[in-house]
Amino acid sequence: MLDLLTSHFNAVFTSLRLRGKISKGDIETSCEQIRQALLESDVALEVVESFVAQIAQRSIDALALIQPGSNQAKAVFEVVNSSLVEILGGSARRVRFSKNPPTVIMLAGLQGAGKTTLAGKLAKFFADQGNTPLLVASDLQRPNAVTQLQILGQSIGVAVFAPEAGNGVGDPVKVAQAGVEFAKAKQYNMVIVDTAGRLGIDVELMKQAGDIRDALSPDEILFVVDAMIGQDALRTSQAFLDGVGFDGVVLTKLDGDARGGAALSIASLTKRPIMFVSTGEKLGDFDIFHPDRMASRILGMGDVATLAEAAKAAFDGDTSAKLEAKFASGQDFTLEDFLDQLQAMSKMGSISKILGMLPGSGAMKKAIDSLDEGEIIATKSIVQSMTPIERRDPKVLNGSRRSRIALGAGRAVSDVNNLIDRFSAAQKMIKQVRNGATPAGIPGMAGMGMPAIAPKSAAMRPKKKSKSGNPAKRAQEQSQ
């Protein structure tokens, strides 16, 4: 997602950086390019016009203020970045919990936006944090929406309140109300109400949504919207704002290649924060939305904060501590450690997802997309086909062991050789890092995919420290 915006913004700033001194004309040209990029990314026309006018004015103001000779392109970049963060709603907002449980969350949106799936994801998200959510099936319109919610609830172990079978029968307002009563009686601390999809111009159904709201007075009403929506985002979000009102927005299907303009349109028009994004068909594919990180991504600065969080979650404390201790005590990094790292890394998601969060990844987008995820699996299978002794000490790997491993992993012997060569190179590198006293950085990140990726990018490898020609000085260096 956002690739198109990112690449356009990249182009704009690359040409601005080459300028050195930026004139009003340059800003106008850049703004026209930005306008085009935003329109192609489905940002609503009105929003595009006001946004572009705003950054043009702010850039001119900013350039008038800065010292001559300082970096002008950087000043413009900061203007655009802060304007993007501002339009996207500043900092991330969390769900407000009610002082008197249950906290009631109501979902609303167009047909097919992904409300029912999202209800399941929200329930899982909050259940994982120790809450006790109850799902309420108030979509009585779409055939078997109730069954769908029941199946989702079952798969995540969350209770579903569904007194009506749906399929056009039953009163969604009564179901929602009874659901909240049920939650109070049974001490659930949270209620998530799924509702039927409705069009913004459907007066009757909008009134029904309003009735559900009035009956429940929910703590949060979330407007669920498909990230692929186009210019209609404006009309529809306005209609829902007028019809039910909402406190926050959830963008779904962000794992597609949608250009994400809806995020800008809706946030800017409704002044309601985007609170969550949904990024896949599995119930765990769900994130809190961070406007600043989104702006970074649009501007091609990557999303290191999310990456670091994902890493922290995936590499559990024990593994990292063990590895750090090992690192400090001067022991070798073995294939066993490597396997731990690979496994932790798969927990973080696909390699392309991880690389996509790095700064400048927009430029390597094609390469990232064509990355073979299978290689990681193949690498894992090779290590898993080794005995513990072999993993600890690859030196024992003679020809017959290697061919046995290749057979076990279903790979060619050359693949095994290749892995071991790359691993030895990585091992050497780690020794150098240790001796060169470069800080280990994020715990556990040191080994991240090293044999698989590091040899391809020289930039990520620490340079070997040059040794002094003076023996006394060299001894001093080495003792450091």
189 vs 178: CA distance, rounded Å: 15
Neighbour-count burial for 10-22, b at 16+ CB within 10 Å, e otherwise:
eebbeebeeeeeb
Looking at the Cβ atoms of 200 and 362, the one nearer to another protein is 200
- Choosing from 29, 33, 86, 142, the residue that interacts with another protein (CB under 8 A) is 142
Looking at the Cβ atoms of 22 and 239, the one nearer to another protein is 239
> At closest approach, how far in Å is the CB of 255 from another protein?
6
144 binds another protein (CB under 8 A): yes
CB contact at 8 A, 380 and 347: no
> At closest approach, how far in Å is the CB of 58 from another protein?
24
Contact positions with another protein (CB under 8 A) in 188-247: 199-201, 226, 228-233, 235-236, 239
> At closest approach, how far in Å is the CB of 85 from another protein?
23
> At closest approach, how far in Å is the CB of 63 from another protein?
28
> At closest approach, how far in Å is the CB of 95 from another protein?
24
- Choosing from 73, 122, 206, 262, the residue that interacts with another protein (CB under 8 A) is 262
- Choosing from 14, 23, 36, 187, the residue that interacts with another protein (CB under 8 A) is 36
DSSP 363: G
**In this structure, which amino acid lies at residue 438?**
T
> At closest approach, how far in Å is the CB of 268 from another protein?
16
Distances 132 to 84, 102, 128 between C-alpha atoms, Å: 36, 9, 9
Query: Please, what is the angle between helix 24-40 and helix 3-19, to 10°?
Result: 170
List the alpha helices (DSSP H) in 111-144.
115-128
159 vs 154: CA distance, rounded Å: 7
The encoded tokens of residue 266 equal: 């809706």
151 binds another protein (CB under 8 A): yes
Number of residues that bind another protein (CB under 8 A): 47
> At closest approach, how far in Å is the CB of 208 from another protein?
14
325 vs 457: CA distance, rounded Å: 27
Contact positions with another protein (CB under 8 A) in 97-126: 110-114, 117
The residue behind tokens 């590499």 is 315
- Choosing from 72, 103, 141, 268, the residue that interacts with another protein (CB under 8 A) is 141
Choose the stretch contacting another protein; rule: CB under 8 A; options: 99-107, 142-150, 419-427, 453-461: 142-150
CB contact at 8 A, 268 and 234: no
Contacts 24+ apart (CB under 8 A), 268-272: 268/47, 268/50, 268/51, 268/87, 269/44, 269/46, 269/47, 269/233, 269/234, 269/237, 269/238, 270/223, 270/237, 270/238, 270/241, 270/246, 271/89, 272/89, 272/223, 272/241, 272/246, 272/247, 272/248
- Choosing from 7, 10, 167, 381, the residue that interacts with another protein (CB under 8 A) is 167
377 binds another protein (CB under 8 A): no
Task: Answer whether the bond into residue 359 is a cis peptide, omega within 30°.
Answer: no
- Choosing from 255, 309, 324, 336, the residue that interacts with another protein (CB under 8 A) is 255
402 vs 412: CA distance, rounded Å: 10
> At closest approach, how far in Å is the CB of 23 from another protein?
26
- Choosing from 47, 108, 145, 397, the residue that interacts with another protein (CB under 8 A) is 145
281 binds another protein (CB under 8 A): yes
75 vs 60: CA distance, rounded Å: 10
Looking at the Cβ atoms of 142 and 174, the one nearer to another protein is 142
CB contact at 8 A, 429 and 448: no
Nearest to 371 by CA among 358, 384, 387, 389: 358
Choose the stretch contacting another protein; rule: CB under 8 A; options: 40-48, 69-77, 421-429, 449-457: 40-48
> At closest approach, how far in Å is the CB of 253 from another protein?
6
- Choosing from 259, 272, 380, 411, the residue that interacts with another protein (CB under 8 A) is 259
367 binds another protein (CB under 8 A): no
Looking at the Cβ atoms of 115 and 422, the one nearer to another protein is 115
SS3 string, 231-260, reads CHHHHHHHHHHHHCCCCEEEEECCCCCCCC
284 binds another protein (CB under 8 A): no
Looking at the Cβ atoms of 152 and 452, the one nearer to another protein is 152
Choose the stretch contacting another protein; rule: CB under 8 A; options: 149-157, 287-295, 389-397, 431-439: 149-157
Looking at the Cβ atoms of 364 and 442, the one nearer to another protein is 364
Neighbour-count burial for 99-124, b at 16+ CB within 10 Å, e otherwise:
eebbbbbbbbbbeebbbbbbbbbbbb
Site string for another protein, 43-72 (x = CB under 8 A): -xx---------------------------
85 binds another protein (CB under 8 A): no
Residue 131's φ and ψ, nearest 5 degrees, are -85, 170
Phi-psi region of 466 (alpha: psi -120 to 50; beta: other; left: phi over 0): beta
Residue ranges in contact with another protein by CB under 8 A: 36, 39-42, 44-45, 110-114, 117, 141-145, 147-148, 150-152, 155, 167, 199-201, 226, 228-233, 235-236, 239, 253, 255-259, 261-262, 281
